[in-house]
Amino acid sequence: MDKILVHGGHSLSGVVKISGSKNSALPILAATLLTKEPCVIHHVPDLSDIHYMLQILSHLGAQVERASGTVTVQAEKIRTIAPYDIVRKMRASVCVLGPLLGREKEATVSLPGGCVIGDRPIDLHLKGFEALNAAHRVEQGNVKVFAGQLRGSKVSLRGSLGPTVLGTDNVMMAATLADGVTVIEDAAAEPEVVDLANFLNKMGAKITGAGTPTIVIEGVKELHGATHEVIPDRIEAGTFLVAAAIAGREVTLRRVQPQHLDTVISALNESGFKTSTAGSALTLHGNGAPKALNLTTEPYPGFPTDMQAQMCALLSRTGGLSSISETVFPQRFMHVSELKRMGADIELKGSTALIKGVEKLSGAPVMASDLRASAALVLAGLKADGVTEVNRVYHIDRGYESIDEKLNGLGAQIERVKA
């Protein structure tokens, strides 16, 4: 098992290229199961979660080829059962339910694993399938959905903590091959949902409204192959913006869509950092005295929960008293205890972190608990005195393509070693 050693005190500057979006690529790869024809997906990031998804597709009978960042999938004949052994490592594996149900009218998938950041049930997915005339049952850790024929309907996918992204993806994929029109109300509006809808439309689907709370899907008889390029990863981009804010002089991100980062950019601007854009390039300029912030995570277009931990790392060294309230995953603060091991002054009150900026952090052995927490600990180590030892970095490999190499390219000193 690898660990990462971050040698603190080195300034960042230069240019970094942002990879394709993990949260777009996973459902897009799953959507290739909707057709017998070949699909070619470009700009697929090299991540462990992607590897797991390709294993799942292969297990289900698809022919999968990968060359650099391009994946070709042809699912001419498919199976409809994805067992525990191949889905247990990744929660997003549940997104094969929708395309299997749409194409084969049945699917059995083991309930998935993934990050431990609070309860993330699939009840809204099943609610959406039921609206399409599918039944389901859960037994022995597996969920099975089945239908004689899918029929379009109207369904709300808003849960107690907001819309469901994967649920929106799943229902949208299944509905592409349903009879009639499906209307998803309270749909997730994330750019990754829009990217999936764009890919499905290239395959012959008839989807409108993606990116708004109401998505309309007019069912078609069949879908065909298509070629698509995955959008840039806005969370990786945001993470590098925060890295630049913590330890940078001037860092430029290449291949980004700045409009996907509006709330992150606004928060950094409010803290005193200057940013500039030029097409698909985004530059953050260093600031010697950042200001405290009060942030609240919300579903898109609000401040992303996937940037909460990284902002905790930044605000730990920012003068004054800051706060971050977590409304999407209220239990998502396992990184706080590890940042406190490094000298951070953070108090948790329910789902709000009160952060009093300190003059310095000290390197320490810390444990990554989930994907974004691991990134936050690496970022905190960039400015800490001494060496920060981040353990369980398999979490970070789920969502960041070569983060250590990219940061080293900007001037950091990071080693990946065997634990």
CA distance linking residue 158 with residue 207, whole number of Å: 19
Q: CA-to-CA distance for 373 and 365, rounded, in angstroms?
A: 14
Q: At what angle do helices 22-31 and 97-104 cross, to 10 degrees?
A: 20
Q: Which tokens in the block code for residue 161?
A: 């903590």
C-alpha 292/C-alpha 280 separation (Å) is: 29
Q: Is 39 a catalytic residue?
A: no
Tokens of 210: 């993606």
Catalytic residue from among 39, 95, 115, 312 = 115
- Adjacent-strand bridge partners of 388: 6
How many Cβ atoms sit within 10 Å of the Cβ of residue 359?
A: 7
Nearest to 95 by CA among 196, 181, 198: 196
Burial of 160 (C-beta count, 10 Å sphere; 0-12/13-18/19+): exposed
CA distance 305 to 182: 29
Task: Report the amino acid identity of residue 402.
Answer: S
Residue 328 phi, psi (nearest 5): -90, -50
Residues with a catalytic annotation lie at: 115
